Amino acid sequence: IVMTQSPDSLAVSLGERATINCKSSQSVLYSSTNKNYLSWYQQKPGQPPKLLLFWASTRDSGVPDRFSGSGSGTDFTLTINGLQAEDVAVYYCHQHYEGPWTFGQGTKVEFK
């Protein structure tokens, strides 16, 4: 499954909203459970990726509520409401619906 993110990069002012899109080449919604096997990660320089959201919209423990996820099937969105300084990073979507697990190419979020 090919994961395609857009845009590749975006510049956002402090306190403004950042929106990242992720499209999968086939649905990652498992109909029997009504779960999307789609996760979002944040990666800062020199660090491994950090899990932000799983099942497309469920925040991992300790993740601030300014991070939210939406979408189903093949189209997903990560929204950061009120960008903070510590949110400057690269964000990746990932599917674990079907092997091999795959990631989007990443979206770099910077300050405007």
Partner 1 sequence: QVQLQESGPGLVKPSETLSLTCSVSGGSVSSANDYWNWLRQSPGKGLEWIGYIYNSGSTKYNPSLESRVTISVDTSKNQFSLRLNSVTAADTAIYYCARQSTFRHCISSTTCYTGPNSFDFWGQGTLVSVSS
Contacts with partner 1 by CB under 8 A lie at 30, 32-33, 35, 39, 41, 47-51, 54, 60, 92, 94, 96, 99-106
In whole angstroms, how close is the CB of 47 to partner 1 at the nearest point? 8
Going by C-alpha positions, the residue among 111, 66, 109, 64 that lies closest to residue 90 is 109
Among residues 61 and 65, whose Cβ is nearest to partner 1?
61
- Chain centroid, CA 37 distance in Å: 12
Q: Within 10 Å of residue 23's Cβ, how many Cβ atoms?
A: 16
Question: Between vectors from CA 108 to CA 20 and to CA 41, what angle results, nearest 5°?
Answer: 65
Among residues 31 and 112, whose Cβ is nearest to partner 1?
31
Among residues 81 and 97, whose Cβ is nearest to partner 1?
97
In whole angstroms, how close is the CB of 15 to partner 1 at the nearest point? 29
